[in-house]
A and B are shown apart, each in its own frame.
Chain A
Amino acid sequence: MAEHEQGSGARDPAPHGSAPGDPTADAWYFAVRLGEGRYAFDAPLVTEVVRLGPLTRLPAAPPFLPGVFTHRGEILPVLDLGELLLRRGTELEPGARAAVVQAGPWRVAVVADEIEGLLSVPRRRLEQPPPGHGASEFLRAVAVDGAEDLAILDMVRLVAAARARSVPS
């Protein structure tokens, strides 16, 4: 279990094209696996990686919110990324990993098929997402890291859209 505490004001990741930062520097992302694909979002958003406790299911909750659990006295809502992006519920085993993410004002515990962890990608590897890619609305970039493509998500927008229940079906 990796613990990765960042300052409260997470720096904004540099958008593709404009480079207030060094173009040759690496960008840090947090990677997860959903089905066959790899997704990542800005590493500074992740406050910690935890293990899921027993979930309390909520009545009348949307499918991407399977429930809440308590972690060190705090009640955390669980956000199922698979359900949100692929409309496919993630199978949650007790003790599965979750990444606690602060996405704007919203604090959620993100679950996926596999929580991988931090990785850095050279900025020059970042490319425009090809058209027709699933969840392209929330895709900021794609990167080829090693042998696999990496879909860089705009997590803040994604969570806000989820909250507004305006994630397209």
Chain B
Amino acid sequence: MEFRDEERVFITGNEVVARAAQAAGAGYLFGYPITPQNEIMHHWRHIASQAGRGFLQTEDELSAGFATLGAVLTGKIAFSATAGPGTILFQEPLSMAEAMRLPLVIIVQQRGGPSTATVIYSQQEVTLTCFGGNGEGLRIVYSTSSHQELYDYTIKAFRNAWKYRFPAIVLGDGYQAKMREELILYDPSSRAGSRIPNEPIIGGEQVVHMQNAFSVEEELGEKLLIDLEDYNRAIPVLVEHEFLGGAGGRLLVVAHGIVGRAARQAVKELQARGDRVNFFRPITLRPFPEEHLVKACQQSGNAVLVAESAEGQLGRLVRLALADQVLTSFRSYYRPGLGITSEEILEEARL
């Protein structure tokens, strides 16, 4: 490893991602530039030349995605990074990864949408990353809210993609990508359970038959049953969340990613005033921490306020998770493509 066991740094989120991929042992990045993720490619190019890793700028995102799949098939830890319209193009390799159970890792730094829209910020790629493609969305999506989490969950994305053989996505945004913040880099190989089981998937003695096309409906049905069973079995170990508060609350504020920071601050201020407001932040958006959310909702008078920089993309996940619950109140603060401050959430959440 190029750094000591632990190193405190003050860098941008994009550099954090490149350093995390390096620490996780990634060998290759195939990518096509798009703001706000460009500096991931930029920093990785430096890492590639200094640490003997591979880097290729492909002609588009389709090519970047399929090249990553090719590397993964040979047992190489590989990844890509994209955003916005690039994430749309990525749906095809992502779908193939889901079909063939390939550990594709993508970092998505969300920008505004639809289409080209704004270059820096939104939370509008939740549905696309969680459920995009013509399948069931069998993938792992981590939504990070700090540079430390960007580092931790990028490493985790590699590990869990290879362990469970589902594509994994780290969902950031342009704020996280571009801002500088302190974090601790570490060598994950010094920590328990860190090994990435990246044996070659093809190319060994055995003939491997991998399918993403089926001639008979029943064949596909049987295969999907197995995949869904594997996915559902992994859910309890994959789901992660943050909860702040306790029983007897009157309202649960739910937010993810960078908006989670604004929401946490607002909730802390309300709690300091004696207002019994709780805070819930899903870290895995897929699979969604449904049971934990249900419990948090019950501790909060079955009343929920969802804040997000999108028009209900998180809100739908929340409502789905709470569908069997008797929600006495569901309110939303949707700001598609716009940042959300703690003051705004506080204003919405206060009595």
A, B co-complexed: no
